[in-house]
Amino acid sequence: MNAILMAVIGLAVFALGYRYYSKYIAERIFRLDPDFITPAHKYKDGVDFVPTNKFVLWGHHFTSVAGAAPILGPAIAVYWGWLPAFLWVILGTVFAAGVHDFGTLALSVRNKGQSIGTIAEKFIGRRGKILFLFIILTLVLMINAVFAWVIANLFITYPASVLPVFIQIPLAIWIGYAAYKRNMKMLIPSLIALAVMYATAILTAEVSWLQIDLVSYMGGEGGEGLFGLGAVSTAFMIWIGVLLVYVYIASTLPVWKLLQPRDFINSHQLSVGLIILYAGLLFTNPTINAPATNADADVSWLPLLFITIACGAISGFHGLVSSGTSSKQLNLETDARFVGYFGAVGEGVLALISIIAVVTLFSSAADFSAVYSSFEAANAGGLGNFVEGAAILAGGLGIPAHIATTIVSIIVVSFAATTLDTAVRLMRYIIAEIGSEYKVPALTKKHVATSVAVLSTAALVLIPEGPSGFGSGGYLIWPLFGTSNQLLAGISLLLITIWLKRKGVNYLITLIPMIFLLFMTMYAMFTQVFFQWAWYGDSSNMLLFVLGAIIFVFAIWIIVTAIQALSGKFDDELEKHRD
Amino acid sequence: MNMLDKMKKLIKYYEEVLEMPHRTEVARELRDQDDMFLLLLYSEMIGIPNPVYYYTLELYPHIIEDFHDWHLRMGMDKSPLTGIRCC
């Protein structure tokens, strides 16, 4: 099959979904009203509540939700062939992600711009809030572990990317300072920063002594590292240590100093990346040699596909952005369709190019089978395959392969680093919130909460053993990340369903994706926890068993809550909060 | 509209997307400073001695409009001052 045709089909389905399905939801289900006074107008304070042009708000919403996850998930999931991943991304975006992101935005707008956590408390009571807090805590912990591994892995595989990524930090601080203290415009400085980063990337790709290659310093892959560990294992440990020290500092600094200016540079990288990859696709016109379905898969696609691709098909994390910031800045209620639904479509477009980059990498089906030999190999190598595949697409624009791989790995690392920074910050807030909920005042302190966040991340990312030993198994957490993300989406869909049910409109559009998601996650967790990770299972792993079991309990908890909520158990709660 | 104008419009839009979160942060930082200042102004009324009380008293009429939002942000649902009945 031709890859351009695949992209065209995918984009056409997204366009139809936006044009017709989101219109139907906006007009018939949510019944958006252009005259409704949105929280941005009602509570306008110039800080959180600011009416914003819908295109600008979409741009901000999209750059907040797009990251490394919609790239990594599809790159792993093509293990089952391109067809299942492709179908789940396009149908998931249209029927699940779009509805979820749009729904959380509309729900929040109708509830004073409050976040999903507060709305859960309002609809379900204190139990809803606690459930929500623990699910997000699990989610951010998984995000930290996975992305710390992603960055360490890319630094080891592509040592040329290290220096440009570290150069981004002082550049970002400079932009933050210039913009905040000197009131300078940000566009030019952030473009200069991007140019400096990419110039460094070209330099490091060409000059080998500028590549910080820890493994080769220790005598190559067979070399001896520290504490009797192998060279690769030691390199993982060092990079993860460095990253965790970095996120500790980054997540305790004010947002404008480092996180935000990094986001400016990353917004450019997102645009540059998407343009290069789609343009490269047009110029290279590659053929898909990977099989449509993989008959030799050692694990079944059902249900694992649905937790392997979370972001890009549906992601609970988007609900936090929709209800946390975007809902407070929506100018007209009818803009929710464009910002929410089209935001999800943007993420789908990113996931689609990730699939295309990976499946066009191989010259034959045998080549594909050799690289994607097992699900374990797909998990460990998916990201590397994306980088290689994306570099080939970029080659269509005349960019040499070694420079393209460096730049693509920089883009992925930058996304992952920002996600890590945000997730540690978020984890700190949640730990503080749990501390105040359970009356443990020490946890509400900034440095105590951050230390708990960073140390638990360190434990989680270092303990799993990958093929290269200690510290290299962070990717094993990926299915748990997908599951907790889907459970969060499940809660948000439940809240939207309760809201629609009370409005007396057709709530099947959220109920069906919710049941589908909860069923798939329960199914996946059940088979993985009790048949694979348990002490008597095929690939016994106590850490994954315990974490998986906790998430499984959360899933049951959500289902019980959902049944109770939909049968009217919490109607009193809702009545109490009725305006 | 010619090509150049369209480009300018696109760049302006892009810049706006970049600056939106930044503007929010700056506004938040400034609001925090204002909150601190208001706390100093009202300190005498809530029992914290204020050595420049007579001077700050003159500012009351100017800041009274912001008082309600301020006490809500400070975590007080009702007005803490009996003299000001905003809610």
Query: Is the CB of A256 less than 8 angstroms away from the CB of B31?
Result: no
Per-residue pLDDT band at A82 (split at 50, 70, 90): very high
Mutate which of A54, A56, A262 to disrupt the B interface (most B C-beta within 10 Å)?
A: A56
Q: Give the pLDDT of residue A579.
A: 53
The CA-based dihedral angle spanning residues A460, A465, A467, A470, taken in that order and rounded to the nearest 10 degrees: 90
Contact A309, A351 (CB under 8 A): yes
Q: How many residues does chain A have?
A: 579
Contact present, A260 and B20 (Cβ < 8 Å): no
SS3 (DSSP) at A533: helix
Please give the distance of CA A68 from its chain centroid, rounded to a whole number.
6
Quick: pLDDT tens for A22-33.
999 999 999 999
Domain boundaries, chain A: 3-576
CB-based burial, A314-353: b 16+ in 10 Å, e otherwise: bbbbbbbbbbbbbbbbbbbbbbbbbbbbbbbbbbbbbbbb
Task: List b or e across B71-80, with b for residues whose CB sees 16 or more CB atoms inside 10 angstroms.
Answer: bebeeeeeee
Residue A188 — pLDDT band, cuts 50, 70, 90? Answer: confident
Strand partners, A224: A230
User: Is the confidence at residue A438, as pLDDT, over 70?
Assistant: yes
* A131: CB partners within 8 A, 6+ apart: A120, A124, A491, A554, A557, A558, A561
Distance from CA of A429 to the nearest CA of B (A): 17
- At residue A497, does pLDDT exceed 90? yes
Residue for token pair 């694990």: A299
Segment B41-69 mean pLDDT: 79
Rounded mean pLDDT of chain B? 82
Q: Would you call A185 and B15 a contact, using CB atoms and an 8 Å cutoff?
A: yes
Determine the average pLDDT of the residues in A174-191: 83
Question: Residues A160, A205: contact at Cβ < 8 Å?
Answer: yes
Which pLDDT belongs to residue A126?
84
Mean pLDDT of B57-74: 80
> pLDDT by residue (tens digit) across A208-226?
898 998 888 887 777 777 7
The predicted model gives A409-414 an average pLDDT of 92
pLDDT in tens, A99-114: 999 999 999 999 999 9
- Check CB contact under 8 Å for B21 and A55: no
Percentage of chain B lying above the pLDDT 70 cut? 98
Buried residues in A451-465 as b, exposed as e (16+ CB within 10 A): ebbbebbbebbbbbe
- Average pLDDT value for residue range A126-135: 86
Residue B14: list chain A partners with CB under 8 A.
59, 187
SS3 A466: strand
Determine the Cα–Cα distance for residues B53 and A135; give it in Å rounded to an integer: 49
Please give the pLDDT value at position A454: 94
Cβ distance of B22 and A256 shorter than 8 Å:
yes
CA distances to A23, A192, A285, A290, A391 from A408, rounded to whole Å, are 36, 19, 19, 22, 7
Calculate mean pLDDT across residues A146-174. Answer: 93
Residue B85 has pLDDT above 80, yes or no: no
Contact A289, A367 (CB under 8 A): yes
Which residue, among A205, A271, A261, A219, has the nearest Cα to A66 in the 3D structure?
A271
Please give the average per-residue pLDDT across A526-535, as a whole number: 89
Q: What is the pLDDT of residue A520?
A: 94
The answer to whether A487 and A551 are in contact (CB under 8 A) is yes
Q: How far, in Å, CA of A183 to CA of A344, rounded?
A: 33
Contact A529, A536 (CB under 8 A): no
pLDDT of residue A177: 85
- Calculate the alpha carbon distances from B37 to A480, B4, B40, B43 in Å: 47, 47, 5, 10
Domain segments of chain B as ranges: 3-73
Give the chain A residue nearest B13 (alpha carbons): A56
When scoring A43, A47, A325 by the number of chain B Cβ atoms within 10 A, the one with the most, hence best to mutate, is: A47
Give the distance, in angstroms, between the CA of residue A6 and the centroid of all CA atoms in the same chain. 23
Residue type, A285: N
* Three-state SS at A287: strand
> Residue A489: which of A323, A359, A255, A333 has the closest Cα?
A323
CB A343, CB A65: distance < 8 Å: yes
Q: Residue A362's CB: how many other CB atoms inside 10 A? A: 21
**A127, A88, A160: which is closest to A351 by C-alpha?**
A88
> A505 vs A474, which has greater pLDDT?
A505
Pairwise pLDDT comparison (B82 vs A391), residue with the higher score:
A391
Q: What average pLDDT does chain A have?
A: 90
In this structure, what token pair is assigned to residue A362? Answer: 């191989």
- Stated as kind and residue range, the H or E segment containing B79 is none
Query: Does the pLDDT of residue A439 top 70, yes or no?
Result: yes
- A185 contact residues in B (CB cutoff 8 A): 15, 19
Distance (Å, whole) CA A102 – CA B10 = 25
* Tokens matching residue A336: 């929710």
pLDDT at A410: 93
Q: B13 and A56 in contact by Cβ < 8 A?
A: yes
Q: H or E stretch including A470?
A: strand A469-470
Judged by average pLDDT, the poorest of A67-71, A424-428, A456-460, B72-76 is B72-76
CB contact under 8 A, A256 and B11: no
**Residues A142 and A311 sit within 8 Å (Cβ to Cβ):** no
Does the reported pTM lie above 0.95? Answer: no
Question: Which 3 state secondary structure label does DSSP give A507?
Answer: coil
pLDDT value, residue A141: 92
Chain A residues inside the 8 Å CB shell of B18: 186-187, 190, 264, 267
- Residue in A47, A52, A190 closest to B18 by CB: A190
Provide the token pair at B34: 């204002």
| pLDDT score at A69 | 92
A63: Cβ–Cβ under 8 A, 6 or more apart, which residues?
A263, A266, A267, A270, B17
Residue among B18, B28, B31 whose CB faces A187 most closely: B18
Q: How far from each other are the two terminal CA atoms of chain A, in whole angstroms?
A: 56
Cα distance between residue A321 and residue A316, in whole Å: 9
The average pLDDT across A527-545 equals 87
CB–CB of A184/A178 below 8 Å? yes
Report the pLDDT value the prediction gives residue A578, as an integer from 0 to 100.
64
A-side interface with B, Cβ within 8 Å? 45-48, 50, 52-53, 55-57, 59-60, 63, 179-180, 185-187, 190, 254-256, 260, 263-264, 267, 329
Quickly tell me which residue has 């600008």 as its tokens: A56
Over residues A230-238, the mean pLDDT reads 88
- Segment A503-522, tens digit of pLDDT: 899 999 999 999 999 999 99
